[in-house]
Amino acid sequence: MKVIVDQDKCIGSGQCVLLSPEVFDQRDEDGIVVLLNADPPAELHDAVLEAAQVCPSLAITVEE
């Protein structure tokens, strides 16, 4: 799995961080997503996929 984030699309809702804090974080100044791990381990795949699905701005892309 490869995770890609588009910071220009991100609106800072934070859903990704709530679902997978091991993979996503947010910048302090504006809440924009920060990718911590572009190649997460298998045990995090379900949470990462859910984060991509619930992202209101579709800023997260997952390639399998």
Indicate the pTM of the whole model.
0.95
Main-chain phi, psi angles of 6, to 5 degrees? -110, 100
Mean predicted confidence (pLDDT) in 14-34: 98
In whole angstroms, give the CA distance from residue 55 to residue 52.
Answer: 5
Pick the CATH number of 2-63 from 3.40.50.300, 3.40.50.150, 1.10.10.1400, 3.30.70.20: 3.30.70.20
pLDDT at 9: 98
Contacts of residue 53, defined as CB under 8 A and 6 or more positions apart, other chains included, come to: none
**Per-residue confidence at 28, pLDDT binned at 50, 70, 90?**
very high
